[in-house]
C-alpha cells in the first residue's frame, strides 16, 4: 500500500478508538460501584500514562531534533498556555464537554503531525498512530460518561457523534500530508505544541481525576499505559 493509504487507515483507526471507548463506557450494570470507583479511575490513569509516553517518546524527541532550543521551548510552552486558556474558557462557561474538547484538542494536531510524518518518511508515524489510538480509547470512555452525566443526550447519539468526529483523523492527516510534508520544522513545532498541551492536560485534569482513596489500581494503570508506549517505541527503533 502507498504511504497515503496507510496513513488514512491509521488515522481512521486511531479516531475510531473514541467511539469504541464510548461503547465500553455504556457498560454500567456490572458491579456499578467498582466500575465508578476503580475501573473508571484506572482507565483515566491509563490514558494519562499513554499521553506521557506520547510526549516523552515521540512528540518531544522528534520535535527538538529539528528546531533551535529557543523555538522548541516556545512551541512547547505555547501549547501548555493554549490549553491553559482553553481550560479557563471552559471553566467560565461552565461547559459540560471539557473531556470531549480536550480529546479533540490533542487528537487533531497529532493527526496532522502523523500525516506530515508519512509524507517525509518519518519512522515514528506508526508508533504515533498507536499512541493516539491508545489515548483516544480512555478519553472516549471519559468524555462519554461526562456527556451522559451532564446532558440529556441518548447513548446512541453520543456514540454516533464520536464516530463522526473520528473522521477528523484522516482529514487532519491529509492536511499534514499535503500541506506540511515539505515543512519538517513546522511539523516539529506542531509536535512540541501538542506535547506542551498534553502535559498541561495530564497534570491539570487527568492525574487529579485518577486518584481514589485506598485504591491502588489506578496508579498502576498509568504505569501500564506508559509501558505500552515504551514497547511501541522499542519496536519502532528495532525495525
Query: Which has more pLDDT, 85 or 225?
Result: 85
- Closest to 24 in 3D by CA, of 9, 39, 46: 39
User: What is the share, in percent, of the chain residues with pLDDT greater than 70?
Assistant: 82
pLDDT digit string (tens) for 146-156? 788 777 788 89
Residue 141 has a pLDDT of 84
Mean pLDDT estimate for the chain: 81
pLDDT tens for each residue of 15-47:
999 999 899 887 755 545 555 566 777 777 887
| pLDDT classification of 214: cutoffs 50, 70, 90 | low
SS3 content of the chain, % helix, strand, coil (to 5): 85, 0, 15
Q: Per residue in 147-161, is it b (16+ CB within 10 Å) or e — as a string? A: bbeeeeeeeeebbeb
Q: pTM for the complete prediction?
A: 0.76
C-alpha cell at 85: 486558556
Q: Which helix (H) or strand (E) holds 199?
A: helix 184-201
Nine-digit cell string for 231? 514497547
Which three cell numbers mark 68? 533551535
Under the banding of pLDDT at 50, 70 and 90, the label for residue 11 is: very high
What is the reported pLDDT for 168?
93
- Roughly how many angstroms between the first and final C-alpha of the chain, as a whole number? 18
pLDDT in tens, 84-135: 888 788 777 665 566 777 678 778 888 888 888 788 776 667 777 887 888 7
- Alpha-carbon distances of 222 from 9, 14, 216, rounded to whole Å: 27, 20, 11
Question: Which carries the bigger pLDDT value, residue 188 or residue 122?
Answer: 188
195: left (phi over 0), alpha (psi -120 to 50) or beta: alpha
> What mean pLDDT do residues 195-199 have?
87
Amino acid at each position: 500500500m502507498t504511504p497515503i493509504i496507510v496513513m488514512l487507515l491509521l488515522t481512521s483507526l486511531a479516531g475510531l478508538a473514541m467511539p469504541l471507548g464510548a461503547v465500553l463506557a455504556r457498560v454500567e450494570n456490572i458491579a456499578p460501584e467498582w466500575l465508578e470507583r476503580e475501573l473508571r479511575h484506572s482507565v483515566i490513569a491509563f490514558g494519562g500514562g499513554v499521553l506521557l509516553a506520547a510526549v516523552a517518546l515521540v512528540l518531544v524527541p522528534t520535535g527538538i531534533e529539528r528546531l533551535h532550543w529557543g523555538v522548541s521551548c516556545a512551541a512547547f510552552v505555547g501549547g501548555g498556555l493554549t490549553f491553559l486558556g482553553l481550560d479557563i474558557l471552559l471553566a467560565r462557561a461552565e461547559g459540560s464537554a471539557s473531556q470531549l474538547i480536550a480529546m479533540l484538542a490533542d487528537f487533531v494536531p497529532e493527526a496532522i503531525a502523523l500525516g506530515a510524518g508519512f509524507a517525509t518518511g518519518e519512522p515514528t508515524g506508526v508508533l504515533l498512530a498507536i499512541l493516539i489510538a491508545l489515548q483516544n480509547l480512555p478519553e472516549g470512555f471519559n468524555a462519554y460518561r461526562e456527556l451522559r452525566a451532564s446532558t440529556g443526550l441518548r447513548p446512541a447519539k453520543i456514540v454516533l457523534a464520536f464516530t463522526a468526529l473520528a473522521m477528523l483523523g484522516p482529514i487532519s492527516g491529509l492536511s499534514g500530508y499535503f500541506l506540511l510534508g515539505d515543512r519538517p520544522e513546522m511539523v516539529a513545532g506542531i509536535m512540541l505544541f501538542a506535547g506542551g498541551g498534553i502535559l498541561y492536560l495530564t497534570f491539570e485534569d487527568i492525574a487529579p481525576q485518577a486518584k481514589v482513596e485506598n485504591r491502588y489500581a489506578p496508579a498502576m494503570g498509568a504505569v501500564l499505559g506508559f509501558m505500552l508506549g515504551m514497547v511501541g517505541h522499542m519496536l519502532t527503533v528495532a525495525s
